[in-house]
Chain A
Amino acid sequence: MALAAPELSRRARRVTPAGLARFLARRLGTGLVLVVGITLVAFVITHLVPGNPAAATLGQTAMSDPTIVKAWDHQYGLDKPVVEQYLIYLGKLAEGNLGISEHDNNPVLSDLGQHIPATLELALFAIVVSTAIGVSLGLLAAVRRGRTADGVIRIASLAGVSMPTFWVALVLFIVFFSKLGWFPSGGRLDPGVTPPATITGMYTVDAILHGQWSLFVQALQHLVLPGVTLGIFTIGTMVRFTRASVLEVVNNDYVRAARAKGLPEWTVVRRHVLRPALLAITTVAGLAFANLLSGTVLVENIYGWPGIGEYAYQSAINLDLPAIMGVSMFVALVYIVINLLVDLAYSLLDPRIELR
């Protein structure tokens, strides 16, 4: 799913609260329709897969016992016609019930609530680190265009986007955990350490909120290797987009005029170069964040990170239909919400852009 281009109007116009409300209502309405559509697509696809959920869960001998298979199908409503199953699902969805996982027998909502914060924490760490480094290096490469720094940064960013994530994950794991011992192994905390009491579900944030500083440091240590693994690809992307965006504006007349006025270089870069480039950077950062939230399967698997990627993987291999539906909706919501936030950010960054 790609981020839709915002509806732009190049007239400088103040966003009124009523206009903003109309914009939000329209977008949320569209989002709602989209989510329902996603449920239908996911439902149809998961039912088209020529596998039997009972066979994926029940053992060989249990599968040969019709009473056990019947009880299992009944428990998850699989003994009803497919259309009725979907309608029941929609009815429950309207009540905020995503069903019960056929794999672990927990409410899917509860499973998502447990796994999403883990991925959110990882994705936030990765996007913050990669945006800070990526934008800085992209900016540096652009203003030093053609020089050594530019060449080095471009090669490094190319390497960043070219290296397979699973390979980076393994290399970092072997070097920084196995050989050097600088960072801990997988998981969100050391084995057996009790997590902080849940407020957000993000251990670093919860540890801070509870004033558990040693726990915060430990959670942060565990974030570093998977976070950097994810961040490396995003850094490469951010560098390339930032450099290209900055180069588009750096030779404009108004930039030259600013320099001719004698403004300090940093002021020129910040006010006249970086700000126009921010629109493209925001788009890329939004897309990258959405990708991070929905594309962490390999990294989570390698680092034993109990996030939504790992949950999606387990759901898929176990043909856990309610969980697959839940994950599909989560991914759809991620793109819808981030798309919306990016559009809102456009109007903040450029007052000429009208939300409608």
Chain B
Amino acid sequence: MNRRFFSVLAASTSGVALLFGAAGGLPASAASHPAASGGRTLVIDNSFSLVTADPGHMFENTGELVDNAMYDTLVTFDGNNFKKVVPLLATSWQVLDGGRKYVFHLDPKAKFSDGTPVTSADVVWSEQRLVNLKGNPSVLLGGETITAEGPETVVFTSAQPNPALPYILPNPSTGVLEKSVVTKHGGTDAADASTKDTAENWLNNHSAGSGPYVMSSFNVSSQVVLTANPNYWGPKPAWSQVVVRNVNAPEQGLDVERGTYEVGVDMSPSQTKSLSGVQVVGGASPNVFFLFTNDNPKVSKVTSNKDFQKAVRYAINYKGLLQLAGAGAVQSPGVIPTAYNGSLPASADSSYNLRLAKSWLAKSGLKHPAVTLSYPESFQSNGIDFGDLAARVQQDLQQAGITATLAPASLTVALQTYRAGTEQIGLWYWGPDFPEAADYLNFAPGALVGLRAGWTAKMDPGLVALAGRAASVVNPAARQAIFQTFQRDLNAQGPFVTLVQGAQVVVGTKNLHNLTPNGLWEVDLRNLY
């Protein structure tokens, strides 16, 4: 074989070698990076849950992160404090007519990114559009009539008292759009907006809000780029550019370790253990994992047995589940997360007592009960895999003498059986639609989740009545008390066993300030600097 053969062979591979050499020999930022031109770029790694940037349609985690930065709402929360609503577009508000009427007074300084003042007409138009689009977030303002009283006053009225309203309005879906601009691009707030509104595509490439950042580019698969709003009427945005990019949780930590100003928001506590040179901040997520034992005897004569339900409650080793969930997770004493008004104190936590579990099981009269435990397969929240959690529960039940056969199904299939109320024991979590106790009335008998557990209104009229009263109580102290009673009754009489709230962890480069996980919009871009 002659020299020419080898030279050709070498040439055919040298192209590849050159490619590696060229790539490896240049810094990763060889192309013009915006940060290099004087501004600072913040990179947020997020495993995308993103469909749209249009607040009227948006109801996903990444969408909330992005829209919170672009659209001001009437009121908001201060960081991670979900117990108190603070002003944003509205400087003050009044609660009238026993919670049936809310009057919000707009800040006259507020203006959109093009410099146009924010008026009550913009607010009314945005909220009516949200309702009439009949999309995912439309339920937030269901039953509300929104009107303007002068250019700086907005009134929300409802037939029933709605004490949750101030806690619903921080949701970025209620973000205020500039009516004149969005109308020009196909937006409408008319009753037929669900078929006539065509502004979503435009709002996926532009923004029309009054928040600290404006849309620069938007791609549901790869990245969203925001730039500072030069006309922002509040404190000057800390970043000239914010890039939210789609990165899987395991890679986020590695990115942050090498990042300049970078945040990762989806890692589990265990995934952060090996990281170095970064800050890791964690807290309890508002997602509450729970079990239900179906109360419908047609679904299962075993799980509908009240003594059996008590046995299950005592059979769970909650501390073991906390170990599985990782640092930062907490046991959930009731269905309402610990960070919300109306939550139960830790002293109300269910306790593990195998002796009592066996005793209740004996009292139930069931001999060697066997049930199926349904859950979504290959699905995680806050780093907790439902399969792992189900296996632990199965093990705990086995200790008490209950045989649970695992019945995993893909999320979409499992949702079908869960929503149909046909699961004997179901393992699920509830992520809040809004951070207020009223959202958890869904667990009442005859309500959304109650019915999924086979628990009809007829089975517990007393608790139904209590839930009805709780929904209307406006006074904060009285509301706190009635929701705590509701949960205690739910724990004592209901088919639900609340397990844990997972840990929500954010990882960031050490040079970032005010880095905290946020139960609504992942991380608060408005306060991060």
Q: Which A residues have a C-beta under 8 Å from some C-beta of B?
A: 49-52, 55-65, 67-68, 71-72, 75, 103-106, 114-115, 129, 132-133, 135-136, 139-140, 143, 170, 173-174, 177-178, 181-194, 212, 214-215, 217-218, 220-221, 224, 264-266, 269, 301-302, 304, 306, 310-311, 314, 317, 319
Given contacts A51-B410, A68-B138, A190-B28, contact A311 B221 (CB under 8 A): yes
Q: What residues of chain B lie closer than 8 Å to A218, measured between beta carbons? A: 28, 30-31
Contact A187 B222 (CB under 8 A): yes
Contact B2 A133 (CB under 8 A): no
Interface presence of B347 (CB below 8 A): no
Contact A304 B412 (CB under 8 A): no
Contact B8 A190 (CB under 8 A): no
Q: What are 10 A-to-B residue pairs whose CB atoms are below 8 Å? A: A56-B411, A60-B442, A65-B142, A191-B41, A192-B35, A264-B2, A266-B2, A269-B1, A311-B221, A317-B411
Chain B contributes a number of interface residues (CB within 8 A of A) equal to 71
CA distance A78 to B105 in the complex (A): 43
Contact A132 B31 (CB under 8 A): no
Sample of 4 more A-B contacts, CB < 8 Å, known A51-B413, A183-B23, A304-B247: A59-B59, A105-B51, A220-B22, A311-B221
Given contacts A115-B221, A266-B4, contact A51 B416 (CB under 8 A): yes
Contact A186 B433 (CB under 8 A): no
Interface presence of B32 (CB below 8 A): yes
- Chain A: interface secondary structure? helix
Please report which residues of chain B, range 193-233, place their CB below 8 angstroms from some CB of chain A when the two chains form the complex: 194-195, 200-201, 217, 219-223, 225
Partner of B16 from the list A60, A132, A220 (CB cut-off 8 Å) is A132
Contact B32 A188 (CB under 8 A): no
Q: What residues of chain B lie closer than 8 Å to A71, measured between beta carbons? A: 134, 194-195
Contact B31 A136 (CB under 8 A): no
B100 to chain A, nearest CB (A): 21
CA distance A273 to B245 in the complex (A): 50
A30 to chain B, nearest CB (A): 33
Given contacts A136-B13, A177-B258, A269-B1, contact A306 B24 (CB under 8 A): no
Partner of A264 from the list B4, B139, B433 (CB cut-off 8 Å) is B4
Contact A61 B33 (CB under 8 A): no
CA distance A214 to B27 in the complex (A): 11
Q: What residues of chain B lie closer than 8 Å to A314, measured between beta carbons? A: 221
Contact B217 A194 (CB under 8 A): yes
CA distance A182 to B24 in the complex (A): 5
Interface presence of B29 (CB below 8 A): yes
Contact A304 B433 (CB under 8 A): no
B33 to chain A, nearest CB (A): 6
Interface presence of B385 (CB below 8 A): no
Of chain A, the residue at the smallest CB distance from B255 is: A185
Contact B57 A105 (CB under 8 A): yes
Of chain A, the residue at the smallest CB distance from B449 is: A60
Contact B31 A189 (CB under 8 A): yes
* Smallest CB-CB A-B distances: 3 pairs: A51-B412, A306-B221, A306-B222
CA distance A232 to B473 in the complex (A): 65
Of chain B, the residue at the smallest CB distance from A300 is: B221
Interface presence of B257 (CB below 8 A): yes
Interface presence of B235 (CB below 8 A): no
Q: What residues of chain B lie closer than 8 Å to A139, measured between beta carbons? A: 9
CA distance A212 to B221 in the complex (A): 24
Q: What residues of chain A lie closer than 8 Å to B136, measured between beta carbons? A: 57-59, 62, 68
Contact B41 A192 (CB under 8 A): yes
Partner of A55 from the list B4, B194, B255, B415 (CB cut-off 8 Å) is B415
Interface presence of B26 (CB below 8 A): yes
Given contacts A217-B22, A221-B23, contact A190 B29 (CB under 8 A): yes
Q: What residues of chain B lie closer than 8 Å to A56, measured between beta carbons? A: 411-412, 415
Contact B448 A224 (CB under 8 A): no
Interface presence of B400 (CB below 8 A): no
A135 to chain B, nearest CB (A): 7
Partner of A103 from the list B12, B51, B195, B416 (CB cut-off 8 Å) is B51
Given contacts A187-B223, A193-B32, contact A75 B194 (CB under 8 A): yes
Q: What residues of chain B lie closer than 8 Å to A185, measured between beta carbons? A: 247, 251, 254-255, 258
Partner of A304 from the list B26, B134, B246 (CB cut-off 8 Å) is B246
Chain B 106-145, CB within 8 Å of chain A: the 1/0 string? 0000000000000000000000000000111111001000
Contact B23 A192 (CB under 8 A): no
A250 to chain B, nearest CB (A): 12
Of chain A, the residue at the smallest CB distance from B4 is: A266
Q: What residues of chain B lie closer than 8 Å to A50, measured between beta carbons? A: 413, 416
Of chain A, the residue at the smallest CB distance from B250 is: A170
